[in-house]
Amino acid sequence: METPPTSSRHWRPYLSNLGLLLIAPLLAILLTTFVFQSYQVSGESMQNTLQNNDRLIVWKGSRTWARLFGGQYVPNRGDIVIVNEQNLTACNQTGKVIIKRIIGLPGERIVYAHSVYAVYNHDHPEGFNPDTSLPYGSSHKANGPLLEDANAFDTDTTLKSNQVFVSGDHRANSCDSRYFGAVDTHDIIGKVVMRIFPLSQAEKF
């Protein structure tokens, strides 16, 4: 007696599961490369905004979109960003991924003197201090002042069309553009949009 052939329908659930197992890792890689990524803070350079070991979500979508169409990704002033910075010899460190705040935008002149920033551009030819005019400065008034660095050397930098100036909020313990200079916009990995851990301090940025 001839055995009837096995129905292909019996294999469909197994094939579907196999397909999910193959697609899921690829999808995860694509998402972390081009859309968003988890990042853990290492160090104290962004206190009192962020603490060591805070877990963050970094949004990469805007950078990916800009590069896809041949444009330049420039975050807003005051945004917290993740940067791939290789020129850290001025701070006696090796190149690494760092977290900082955007202070200056392309084409602007940035002056740091007597522990105070001044930004000069077309709209503000006399200069303004972003630490006092942007919302992040107000949050520091509630959580403790921006930790200025009285020992940092003064800087006067005019940014090129593809550069930004970054700084840590803990100025006395931050290796940033005051030391290693302007950052190429191509080296910006993404913008911090959320803190997810510790849960008691979860918030959007």
Query: What domains sit in the chain, N to C, each tagged with a CATH number?
Result: 37-199 (2.10.109.10)
Nearest to 84 by CA among 178, 173, 186: 186
- The model carries a pTM of 0.84
Pairing of strands 183-184, 36-40: unpaired
Average pLDDT, the chain: 86
Express each pLDDT in 76-101 by its tens digit: 999 999 998 877 777 777 768 999 99
Percent of the chain's residues with pLDDT above 70: 81
Contacts of 120 (CB under 8 A, 6+ apart): 108, 109, 110, 111, 126, 127
**Which range, 3-17, 55-69, 144-158, is most confident?**
55-69
What SS3 state is found at 111?
A: strand
Express each pLDDT in 7-55 by its tens digit: 556 666 665 666 666 776 776 676 667 788 999 999 999 998 999 999 9
Query: Whole-angstrom Cα distance, residue 181 to residue 155?
Result: 9
